[in-house]
Amino acid sequence: MPSISLNKLRALSCGVLVALAISGCARPAPDLPPDYGSVDSKTPLTADQFSAQDLALSCTQARQQQVELTDEASRLTGVIDDSKGYNEAIGILGALFIVPALAADQNPDEKRRLDEIQTRWDTLVALRRYKSCTT
Amino acid sequence: MLFRNLGMLVGAAFVLAACTPPARTLVTVAEPGQLAAETKTEVKSDRKATEPKNVILTREDITDRAYKAIADIKVVVRRLFLPDPDPTQAEADLMLKTTAAALGADAVVLVRYGSSGITLTTWGTLESQGRAVYFTE
């Protein structure tokens, strides 16, 4: 059985660490909601899918919230984009020198908030359809 | 030693010659609401293809015209090599429109994007999803 030296094992572990550290940098697109908009939808919207506060919102208020969400999402996307160059440099260093890239900036808070924003956005879009707001 | 190295080089050249470069863009099409499902049924549209440039793309729903959903589309744009350009939302949009047009769609609604970033096998990946629909009136 071939023996692996301690140095090779160490280098391999470092490579795995680099890969793990940078592999989570991309955030997947949030899943689409069920098809409630088709004329023959099997999952039409009902009032119990919305909170009482949301049902109390007017079309204008729902639209205003969407505008605020868009602004916040743009700001967070900018923060994540700013980290891209740094993460790329970490990736190159990792590939060349097999050093642990534990310092890769993955912006977990910003990504989590972007997912929350999309969820809220989907709720508001569905609410606007439920309330028959114009596009 | 020289022959062994030469042999390895020739072998590698044969292997590389047989490889086709991986695609920059990956597209998945599924029945509405089925993109995340483990097994996806093939989507068949009997509608005539539309022009990609005429397909409406929106992050919103369309509430002033009745529509029927044809399919959910997922697009992944990948930066496979370091010198390649970063994936952009414009690239993802174009692929969403092209795929939707081939299905005979008039619009892609509820479009959403992930955040571009490095993955295990790419220097940048951007994912987007949308629902291809056609107007019934």
Per-domain residue ranges for chain B? 22-135
Minimum mean pLDDT range among A110-124, B9-23, B35-49: B9-23
Predicted confidence at residue A58, as pLDDT, reads 96
**Is the per-residue pLDDT at A1 higher than 50?**
no
Predicted confidence at residue B102, as pLDDT, reads 96
**Is the per-residue pLDDT at A16 higher than 70?**
no
User: What is the β-pairing status of strands B107-113 and B56-57?
Assistant: parallel
**Cα B43 from Cα B34, distance rounded (Å):** 11
**Is the per-residue pLDDT at A85 higher than 90?**
no
Q: How many domains does chain A have?
A: 1
Question: A14 or A29: which carries more pLDDT confidence?
Answer: A29
CA–CA min distance A10, chain B (Å): 20
Contact predicate B80/B22, CB 8 Å: yes
10 Å CB burial of residue B83 (0-12, 13-18, 19+) is exposed
Write out the residue range of the structural domain in which residue A89 sits. 6-23+49-130
10 Å CB burial of residue A120 (0-12, 13-18, 19+) is middle
Kindly state the average pLDDT of the residues B47-74.
96
Kindly state the average pLDDT of the residues B121-133.
93
The contacts of residue B45 (CB under 8 Å, 6+ apart) are B70, B71, B103, B104
CB contact under 8 A, B60 and A129: no
Is the full-model pTM beyond 0.90? no
**Helices A108-130 and A59-97 sit at what angle, rounded to 10 degrees?**
150
B120 shares contact with chain A (CB less than 8 Å): yes
Kindly state the average pLDDT of the residues A68-94.
84
Residue A30 lies inside a defined structural domain of this protein: no
Residue A40 lies inside a defined structural domain of this protein: no
Predicted confidence at residue B53, as pLDDT, reads 96
A36-57: pLDDT as tens digits: 999 999 999 999 999 999 999 9
Predicted confidence at residue B41, as pLDDT, reads 74
**Is the per-residue pLDDT at B104 higher than 80?**
yes
Fold category of B22-135 in CATH: Translation Initiation Factor IF3 (3.30.110)
Q: What is the mean pLDDT of chain B?
A: 88
The contacts of residue B60 (CB under 8 Å, 6+ apart) are A125, A135, B109, B110
Residue A78 lies inside a defined structural domain of this protein: yes
Closest CA to A65 of A2, A126, A4: A126
Please report the number of interchain residue pairs, chain A to chain B, with beta-carbon separation below 8 angstroms: 116
Minimum mean pLDDT range among A64-73, A125-134, B77-86: B77-86
**Interface probe with B: pick from A25, A32, A114, most Cβ of B within 10 Å:** A32
Predicted confidence at residue A129, as pLDDT, reads 96
CB contact under 8 A, B114 and A26: yes
**Cα B71 from Cα B132, distance rounded (Å):** 5
Hey, which residues does B127 pair with through a beta bridge? B76
**Interface probe with B: pick from A35, A86, A96, most Cβ of B within 10 Å:** A35
CB contact under 8 A, B117 and A26: yes
**Is the per-residue pLDDT at A31 higher than 90?**
yes
Predicted confidence at residue B82, as pLDDT, reads 83
Residue A44 lies inside a defined structural domain of this protein: no
CA–CA min distance A5, chain B (Å): 25
B35 shares contact with chain A (CB less than 8 Å): yes
- Report how far apart, in Å, the C-alpha atoms of A98 and of each of A92, B4, B118 are: 9, 28, 17
- Looking at chain B, the whole-number percentage of residues with pLDDT higher than 70 is 86
A22 shares contact with chain B (CB less than 8 Å): yes
Minimum mean pLDDT range among A34-43, A98-107, B47-56: A98-107
